[in-house]
Amino acid sequence: MDDAVLSRRSLFAAGAVGLAVPAIGAAVSWNAGAAHAGATRKVTIYAEALPGGLFGYGLAPGQATVPGPLLEIYEGDTLEITLVNTTNQRLSIHAHGVDYSTSSDGSPLHASYNNPGETRTYVWRSREMFAAAGRRFMPGSAGYWHYHDHAMGTDHGTGGVAKGLYGGLIVRRRGDILPDRQFTVVFHDMTINNRMAPNTPIFEANLGERVEWVAIGHGNLFHTFHLHAHRWADNRTGMLESISDPSPTIDNKDLNPGSSFGFQVLAGEGVGPGAWMYHCHVQNHSDGGMSGIFLVRNADGSMPPGAEEAIHRFQGHTHTTTSQSHDDHGGHGA
């Protein structure tokens, strides 16, 4: 892998409070300062069967997770993905937000997929914004995007997505501020990262750390993403670019099938450490288990007062959909 920096997302020592933290995927990024624009990056991803009928993408054999690894490149770079299908299912990898040929589309429409046991290379290209007529600019690739299967179960990959074949993709502009922690949150039908409360991910950071969230929607239901006690600018990065930046400040945003967005916050800024909720704000979805905990520890990593008790209360809640929950296309995702 060229110039690659792989960092396992931090899973803080939860044993002190008896927490069971679900596995979180790795992140793959490259150092922009040490690399030239237009470089070709190479990564191998393994598609694997997981317990419970799930499937996942991983950076090495036996390391597949749901969601899969968070992939990062800079505008102008090309990402070459060698996908190794270790399963007995037809599957692929399809990207949002970047450029590719039909042979790297990842869809059966173009016969662009991996048969069982097959290895295939997908090439994703990115570009910077450029000047257009009328003093306008055409957008580049920078943004918070995602990737997913497009071939398992149906020609649209409905089975693969339902079983966990998805992950985040970030295309940065050079000069973007890099985070200390990164979290990928996928709302799929009535699940978060294919789990329901109280088994949803507990994401952790220390007070003052810069935390980057990548939010992705899949499935068949309307959702919104809400983060307690934190807010961000509704633009490409989640940060205001100047004192006159007109981007509205929000703490809740629609997250619907196929959509994605991201933002950065400083953990506990202005509110302090604690166990803060994140959840879908469609009421019967949060009632039914679409909620989790963002644990902001003290700056030294210790547990803040009241946080352990709040987490135990969360784990003891009964999450049950109301009768109205069955009128919004019904039921729980896989």
Express each pLDDT in 122-172 by its tens digit. Answer: 999 999 988 988 888 888 899 999 999 999 999 999 999 999 999 999 999
Structural domain for 256, as ranges: 180-334
Tokens 């899949």 found at: 218
Domain boundary among 135, 160, 176: 176
d(CA 104, CA 76): 18
What is d(CA 15, CA 25) in angstroms, rounded to the nearest whole number? 20
Asked whether the beta carbons of 118 and 170 are under 8 A apart, the reply is no
Query: Does 228 share its domain with 144?
Result: no
- 302-311: long-range pairs with CB below 8 Å, 24+: 303/16, 303/17, 304/272, 304/273, 304/274, 306/274, 306/275, 307/17, 307/273, 307/274, 307/275, 308/17, 310/274, 310/275, 311/17, 311/19, 311/202, 311/275
Which pLDDT score is estimated for 240?
Answer: 95
Q: Considering 129, 151, 176, which residue would you say is the last residue of a domain?
A: 176
Residues 151, 199, single domain; the answer is no
126 or 7, higher pLDDT: 126
Q: How confident is the model at residue 32 (pLDDT cuts 50, 70, 90)?
A: low
To the nearest whole percent, how much of the chain has pLDDT over 90?
A: 79
CA-derived radius of gyration, the chain: 20
Of 9 and 275, the structure prediction assigns the larger pLDDT to 275
pLDDT for residue 110 is more than 60: yes
Look at 25-29, 241-245, 273-277, 313-317 and tell me which has the smallest mean pLDDT.
25-29
User: Which two tokens mark 221?
Assistant: 């239901």
Work out the average pLDDT over 197-212: 97
pLDDT mean over 80-100: 98
Same domain, 53 and 133: yes
115 and 233 fall within a common domain? no
- pLDDT recorded at residue 332: 41
Residue 251 has pLDDT above 80, yes or no: yes
Same domain for 292 and 331?
A: yes
Residues 147 and 45 in one domain: yes
Residue 182 contacts by C-beta under 8 Å, 6 or more apart in sequence?
9, 27, 70, 211, 212, 213, 214
Q: Are the C-beta atoms of residues 62 and 23 closer than 8 Å to each other?
A: no
Q: In angstroms, how far apart are the furthest CA atoms of the chain?
A: 60
Q: Would you state the pLDDT for residue 133?
A: 87
Domain match, 240 and 107 both:
no
Q: What is the pLDDT of residue 243?
A: 95
The kind and range of the H/E element at 123 are strand 119-125
**One domain for residues 103 and 220:** no
213 shares its domain with 185: yes
Please state the φ and ψ torsions of residue 72, each to the nearest 5 degrees.
-135, 135
**Stretch 67-75: mean pLDDT:** 97
Do 196 and 317 share a domain, yes or no? yes
Give me the amino acid identity at 257: P
- What is the per-residue DSSP string for 202-216? EEEEETT-EEEEEEE
The larger pLDDT score, comparing residue 237 to residue 3, is at 237
Q: What is the CATH number of the domain that holds 268?
A: 2.60.40.420
At residue 325, the pLDDT reads 41
Please answer whether residues 92 and 107 qualify as being in contact, where contact means their C-beta atoms are separated by less than 8 angstroms: yes
Residue 239 has pLDDT above 50, yes or no: yes
Residues 286 and 307 in one domain: yes
Beta bridge pairs of residue 119: 84
In the listed set 176, 211, 239, which residue is the last one of a domain according to the structure?
176
Q: What is the pLDDT of residue 105?
A: 96
Please identify which residue in the block is written with the tokens 């909620």. 291
What is the reported pLDDT for 274?
A: 98
Verify that 218 and 264 share a domain, yes or no: yes
* Mean pLDDT, rounded, for 196-205: 97
How far, in Å, are 19, 47, 128, 207 from residue 309 at the CA level? 12, 38, 48, 19
Mean pLDDT of the chain: 88
d(CA 52, CA 38): 41
The number of domains in the chain is 2
Nearest to 81 by CA among 116, 57, 51: 57
Pairing label, strands 202-206, 191-192: unpaired
